[in-house]
Amino acid sequence: MRTTLTALLLLALPLAASAADNSPIGRWKTLDDETGKAMTITEIYQAQNGTLAAKIVENLGLPANCDKCSAPYKGKPFVGIVTLWNLKPQDGGWGGGSGYKPSDDRKFNAKSVKLVDGGNKLEVKGCVAFFCKTATWVRVH
């Protein structure tokens, strides 16, 4: 009986790992658009309303405080700034939410958030009016 249970658990582990790879929930390294240098560690989490959201949990390459930010973040630390919110399942990924890029003090429509490279990278497509840009985030293991 114990051997059977152990075998079943061992078979289920790859399925659980695969399910985790299909979710963007977790920690991601954000990169500067121009230099590729790491800027932050951002954590994607499930919000109380059931949508996905993201906030900066570690500052890797930005100034200590966001002096370029507008209210409510002006002069506050980058850590804790919410960068994505209200993301809903959509077209094999997530989208239909909003975003904020503190380094540019710019709000945007979070058009799509999709896992790529076997779940190791995340493509975040944001749009202001009809101008869209895609940023790639790298999963932190």
Q: Which domains does the chain have, with CATH numbers?
A: 2-139 (2.40.128.520)
pTM attached to this predicted model: 0.83
Cβ atoms within 10 A of the Cβ of 60, count? 14
CA angle 113–30–80, rounded 5-degree value: 95
Residue type, 34: E
| pLDDT confidence bin for 35, thresholds 50/70/90 | confident
3-state secondary structure of 31: strand
> Looking up tokens 């100034």, which residue turns up?
63
Cβ(66)–Cβ(107) under 8 Å?
Answer: no
For residue 6, give Cα distances in angstroms to 1, 3, 11, 15, 18: 9, 5, 9, 15, 19
Q: Looking at residues 53-60, what average pLDDT do you find?
A: 97
pLDDT at position 8 over 80 = no
For residue 26, give both structure tokens. 């977790």
| pLDDT confidence bin for 53, thresholds 50/70/90 | very high
CA angle 70–54–41, rounded 5-degree value: 90
In this structure, of 5-9, 36-40, 73-77, 102-106, the range with the lowest mean pLDDT score is: 5-9
